[in-house]
Structure 1
Amino acid sequence: MTLRFLLALFLSLAALAPRAQAHEIRPAYLQIDEQTPHHYKLLWKVPTRDGMVQDIRPAFEPGFTLTPLPGESVVNGFVLFRYTLTGERALPGTVVKIDNLERTAIDALVEIRLLDGTRHSFLLKPRDSARLVPKAPSAWEVVTTYTRLGVEHILAGVDHLAFVAALILVVRGWPMLLKTVTAFTVAHSITLALATFGYVSLPSPPVEALIALSIVLIAVEAVHLRRGRESLATRWPWIVAFAFGLLHGLGFAGALREIGLPQGDIPLALLFFNIGVELGQLCFIALLSGLVALARRLVSLPRIAPVAAAYAIGAVAMFWVIQRLDGMFL
């Protein structure tokens, strides 16, 4: 029973390792800027995967003419296309669609900037690939769009979830867990905001490597705790969570730069992206706690299970460290 449990636990985590590139949520991005009445300039960014780009493109109602411009380019894993759009009428009140989006697993973030200063931001998804452009701006669009992006980002960020899982292994009692998670949230909110507004800037590769290393260190502390050796991380886990949360916030900022921010609503988008991250994090903690409680009711878990979990998380995180360090020097 114990051997089967340990093997299943390790294999399930190891299976995530090759896929656990940080910030896998990379929506396509469509920026529409009105240059003169009914004449627009478009930037269309499509994420690549394994060197391939999906055949998706913006589409508009009859009466609009979309003209591709030469000179597409590849920048940071995105292919950039540029277009001009000319319409017989204004864009608000018409439908914007992404052709073939339903055949992919990609979301598309649309940002529209009009001459009168009006801005619209909304998220198109494979099952909802068209949207009517509102005639009046709505802050609610920004709230819902960036909350959803925050939730999706954290739930797809296996490295960040692994850090949270490792933290749970070194925290004793729900009051301390709440304090620790709050400290982590406050810390990554600080650096996310500082990086977004340009006060802090670090290159992404070393940040990602250090994030993976932070998981390894917490996993090691979880093993030490089960062997009777206490440290700062086990006595005051909220301090360690705060320190490493500052680092993880820089990782979130890198993802947010890739996603893009509505220039007229940066504070609102930043706030609700962070709220989305926190909601996703709390959902993960609740799900993990529920699964552990269910497992304890159904089977007799071995006493070594927490140590095995810490070793499994640490092993996968060490793989990420090596992988990311290797990527830095290629």
Structure 2
Amino acid sequence: MKFLIITMMLLSLSPGAWADDARPAYFSIVEKQALVYMLKWRIPPTISASNLPTLALPADCSHFPDTVSSERVLIQTLQGQRLYQCQQSLSGGDIQISYPVFNPSLSSLVKYNALSGESYTRMLAPNEYSWTIPETESAYQVALDYTRLGIQHIWEGIDHLLFLLCLVWIAGSFSRILITVTGFTLSHSFTLALSALDLVHLPVPPVEAVIALSIVFLATEIAKSKRDSLTWNYPVAVSTAFGLLHGLGFAAVLTEIGLPQVELVTGLLFFNVGVEVGQLVFVTIVALVMWLVRRMAVTNSFASPKYHDLARVCFSYTIGVFATYWMVERCMQFV
């Protein structure tokens, strides 16, 4: 119990480090006209300027004669672009990713848009350095890639995980956790589909700010511990209501990644499947850890209300620090 409390307090010392720093390197290849391709890249700030990755097109591609590369450093990323002339189509061709110094265990998201309108996206693991652009879209590969993207997003989305953590704490028992998480799943799946299909559209910064606010709300409820409130009596109502907003947050990521042109439904479905798989694994781990902590507390005579209240206050205030920081930071993006 003491170790858990100390760990949570130490985590609160660096709230900004958990918000976005696990993003992959992003490369986009767009066919502007026949055999002319625009390569764009966006590198996260975790990579030093001396170790920026590069993406190499096939050997028959060369810089466009009258253009040079352009780069600009933004607050959070390094972006750039370069125009290429190729002798043959990139469909079926190999691309290579390399680092000048060392591989920092960073994933790479590569997106290819052909002139015909077909779009392909591939998430390369840190140990993968090449990708053969498919000539035809494979439903199996799309399902595999987008499931992986969904799992990666939920595990890197610390704000979503903290929201789930608070829900599990409030729900308490296994049956209430199951009902609460099911409500969250159904609601965010609904808005994810509507937004990804462009049937509902809301600006991303306010949505992200309200997601952080939802965590502040749950942390406050845990800190006050008024068991007669709506949140404590019916956590599924809260998880369902806020789940609609979290679904819009998932959709913002999926919009940036892009859905495949042909296997659109497959991509959307399996991205959501990946999110649910990652979510289920996280909730299961949290529920088991909480059960073990409770058993250890009883065994070591730490089950008194005094220790329980101390753990609850430390838990809620630590998460509140993270969420408040994110809320203010995200509000500054549109104020």
Same fold per superposition (TM over 0.5): yes
CA drift at 1:158: 1.0
Separation in structure 2 between the aligned mates of residue 284 and residue 40 of structure 1, nearest angstrom: 44
Q: TM-score scaled by structure 2?
A: 0.83
Do 2:24 and 2:109's aligned partners in 1 also have CA atoms closer than 8 Å?
Answer: no
CA drift at 1:56: 2.2
CA drift at 1:267: 2.4
CA drift at 1:66: 4.8
1:154 corresponds to which residue? 154
1:57 corresponds to which residue? 54
User: Residue 45 of structure 1 is aligned with which of 37, 41, 61?
Assistant: 41
CA drift at 1:248: 1.0
Do 1:147 and 1:276's aligned partners in 2 also have CA atoms closer than 8 Å?
Answer: yes
Match for 1:212: what amino acid? A
1:178 corresponds to which residue? 178
Separation in structure 2 between the aligned mates of residue 71 and residue 235 of structure 1, nearest angstrom: 58
Separation in structure 1 between the aligned mates of residue 192 and residue 13 of structure 2, nearest angstrom: 30
With 23-32 and 238-247 compared, the bigger mean Cα shift is at 23-32
Separation in structure 1 between the aligned mates of residue 64 and residue 124 of structure 2, nearest angstrom: 22
Size of the aligned set, in residue pairs, is: 322
Separation in structure 2 between the aligned mates of residue 131 and residue 51 of structure 1, nearest angstrom: 22
2:331 corresponds to which residue? 325
Q: Cα distance 1:120–1:213, how it changes in 2: closer, same or farther (>3 A)?
A: closer
CA drift at 1:115: 5.9
1:112 corresponds to which residue? 112
Post-superposition CA distance 1:169-201 (Å, at most 9, x none): 111322221111111111111222222222322
1:303 corresponds to which residue? 308
Match for 1:236: what amino acid? Y
CA drift at 1:127: 0.7
Instruction: Give the secondary-structure state (helix, strand or coil) at the position aligned to 1:49.
Output: coil
Separation in structure 2 between the aligned mates of residue 55 and residue 71 of structure 1, nearest angstrom: 15
User: Residue 31 of structure 2 is aligned with which of 33, 40, 44?
Assistant: 33
Q: Cα distance 1:51–1:107, how it changes in 2: closer, same or farther (>3 A)?
A: closer
1:96 corresponds to which residue? 95
CA drift at 1:281: 1.0
Separation in structure 2 between the aligned mates of residue 325 and residue 136 of structure 1, nearest angstrom: 43
Match for 2:137: what amino acid? P
CA drift at 1:155: 0.7
Post-superposition CA distance 1:13-55 (Å, at most 9, x none): 314512132584344032243843xx24233222342897663
With 318-327 and 107-116 compared, the bigger mean Cα shift is at 107-116
Q: Cα distance 1:80–1:185, how it changes in 2: closer, same or farther (>3 A)?
A: farther
Do 2:213 and 2:327's aligned partners in 1 also have CA atoms closer than 8 Å?
Answer: yes
Do 2:111 and 2:119's aligned partners in 1 also have CA atoms closer than 8 Å?
Answer: yes
Separation in structure 1 between the aligned mates of residue 224 and residue 250 of structure 2, nearest angstrom: 29
Match for 1:190: what amino acid? F
Match for 2:53: what amino acid? I
Match for 2:308: what amino acid? R
Report matched runs for 1:1-330 at 5 Å.
Answer: 4-5=2-3, 7-22=5-20, 24-33=22-31, 35-36=33-34, 39-49=35-45, 55-67=52-64, 69-70=67-68, 72=70, 77=77, 79-87=79-87, 89-100=88-99, 103-114=103-114, 119-225=119-225, 227=226, 229-298=227-296, 300=300, 301=302, 302-304=307-309, 305-329=311-335
Q: Cα distance 1:45–1:248, how it changes in 2: closer, same or farther (>3 A)?
A: same
Q: Cα distance 1:145–1:6, how it changes in 2: closer, same or farther (>3 A)?
A: closer
User: Cα RMSD between the aligned structures?
Assistant: 3.0
Separation in structure 2 between the aligned mates of residue 107 and residue 6 of structure 1, nearest angstrom: 30
Instruction: Give the secondary-structure state (helix, strand or coil) at the position aligned to 2:59.
Output: coil
Instruction: Give the secondary-structure state (helix, strand or coil) at the position aligned to 2:228.
Output: coil
Instruction: Give the secondary-structure state (helix, strand or coil) at the position aligned to 2:41.
Output: strand
Instruction: Give the secondary-structure state (helix, strand or coil) at the position aligned to 1:264.
Output: coil
CA drift at 1:80: 3.8
Q: Cα distance 1:231–1:261, how it changes in 2: closer, same or farther (>3 A)?
A: same
Do 1:96 and 1:130's aligned partners in 2 also have CA atoms closer than 8 Å?
Answer: yes
Q: TM-score scaled by structure 1?
A: 0.84
Identity of aligned residues (%): 34
